[in-house]
A = this chain, B = another copy of it.
Amino acid sequence: MDVFTLCEKAKLASIRLSSTTTEQKNAWLLSIADALDNRVDEILSSNAIDMARGENLSPVMRDRLLLTRERVARISDGVRDLVSLPDPVGRVLSHHVQKDGLDITRVSVPIGVVGVIYEARPNVTVDVATLCIKSGNCVVLRGGKDAINTNRALAKVVKEALGEWSECVQFIDDETRESTGLLLKADKYVDVIIPRGGEKLKEYILQNTKIPVICSAGGVCHTYVEKTADLKKAKEIVKNAKLQRPSVCNALETLLVDEEVAEEFLPVVLSEMKAEKNIRVYGDEATKAIYPDTEIIDEEGYNTEYLDYALSVKVVSGVEEAISHINTHGTKHSDAILTEDMCKAEKFILSVDTADVYVNASTRFTDGYEFGLGAEVAISTQKLHARGPVGLNELTTYKTIIRGNGQIRK
């Protein structure tokens, strides 16, 4: 598997692709969507091979790996949805004319070649490839070994639908770790690496590449119930943030409650969640004093991302302690304050170092669609380039065009 050759082909194709029209890109997306629908049997039979090979995988993993007729239809519908989104390329980001007549325009352009390293979710193959096409980027895909047959089939469908532009999508058809290592060394051809997977994968990538990485840490998301909060609304928000889909990164992991309302608020919200989903509660002594079914944790315990029906709880003395706790234990993903005191809200907004900061709403809204940005490749918890949902605009960079008529520098 000559990974460098694939990456070089992607780089060459990226120059051509960068100046393709919106119409052309949308036509490809529709072809891909149709091809996915028409070739669903071929895709499902490849998936059946992976499912058979993966009979020892956990039920969660098997569910992620499984494709069905309905799931393929959902993937192709997602591709069609991309057509209606605005083209992120060619936006004029700024324009001015200098005194000497130099006309300076900053315009969005594709990044070039995006390398995506992901685990066993076959939908990522299509989602990422089509987001890249819409944003004028070539993509090099390296999927997880458990899904290799499915990914190969999906990549084939996508590439064939692209016809003579098939080089824009490159698929690393290899199950060994070696090919990931080679992709990470292809800094001559690959402009950005986006990992989609667990913490270990991300750590490995950060330690082994010079290529810029758009990274998402896990989401240790907080909700702080300030003493003036509307406790009825607060209960619904906290329950939604924790229970609606606990396995995702924008779900609530740590509930902070002001000491003045802890006794009123905690027993109600925690026992309802216990009754509904048998939630486990971890917390400090003050929490246990109010809600005895609490397992005591130390400071370290507050770094936990459960992704499950479990919750850390802490009673705090006010907004200062809440902010300090979040800045110490959070992952800069999504954090909320529930309050009717807008001075406290502003203080929280200014001082919590996080991508998405909420006032009186559930952190579950952190998502490209919910923010009205369209589909997303990932949710970034780093600060450079993209912070929060990484959608089509975040898959572009910019170029400054300087038009003159003979200007020289004095």
Which one of A102, A213, A399, A403 has the greatest number of beta carbons of chain B within 10 Å? A399
A-B CB contact pairs (8 Å), 30 listed: A15-B351, A18-B353, A19-B351, A98-B372, A102-B365, A104-B371, A111-B384, A112-B383, A192-B383, A212-B382, A233-B406, A239-B408, A240-B408, A354-B399, A356-B399, A356-B400, A356-B402, A357-B402, A358-B403, A359-B403, A359-B404, A361-B404, A361-B408, A362-B409, A364-B408, A364-B409, A365-B402, A365-B407, A365-B409, A370-B409
* Majority secondary structure, A binding face: mixed
Question: Is residue A84 within 8 Å, beta carbon to beta carbon, of the partner chain?
Answer: no
Within 8 A of B (CB), among A98-112: 98, 102, 104, 111-112
Cβ of A360 and Cβ of B406 under 8 Å apart? yes
Q: Which residue of B lies closest to A90 (CB)?
A: B350
Per the bound structure, the CA–CA distance linking A46 and B386 in Å amounts to 42
Q: Give the total of A residues in contact with B, Cβ under 8 Å.
A: 66
Cβ of B409 and Cβ of A397 under 8 Å apart? no
Residues of B within 8 A of A214 (CB): 384
Question: Is residue A349 within 8 Å, beta carbon to beta carbon, of the partner chain?
Answer: yes
Q: Which residue of B lies closest to A364 (CB)?
A: B409
Cβ of A240 and Cβ of B409 under 8 Å apart? yes
Residues of B within 8 A of A104 (CB): 371-372
A96 to chain B, nearest CB (A): 6
Question: Is residue A309 within 8 Å, beta carbon to beta carbon, of the partner chain?
Answer: no
Residues of B within 8 A of A37 (CB): none
Question: Is residue A191 within 8 Å, beta carbon to beta carbon, of the partner chain?
Answer: yes
Contact with B along A103-124 (1 / 0, CB 8 A): 0100000011000000000000
Q: Which residue of B lies closest to A202 (CB)?
A: B210
Question: Is residue A392 within 8 Å, beta carbon to beta carbon, of the partner chain?
Answer: no
Within 8 A of B (CB), among A374-392: 382-385, 387-388
Residues of B within 8 A of A206 (CB): 210
Cβ of A353 and Cβ of B112 under 8 Å apart? yes
Cβ of B112 and Cβ of A404 under 8 Å apart? no
Per the bound structure, the CA–CA distance linking A382 and B207 in Å amounts to 19
**Interface residue from B98, B327, B357, B372 paired with A96 (Cβ < 8 Å):** B372
A64 to chain B, nearest CB (A): 21
Q: Which residue of B lies closest to A239 (CB)?
A: B408
**Interface residue from B192, B350, B351, B365 paired with A384 (Cβ < 8 Å):** B192
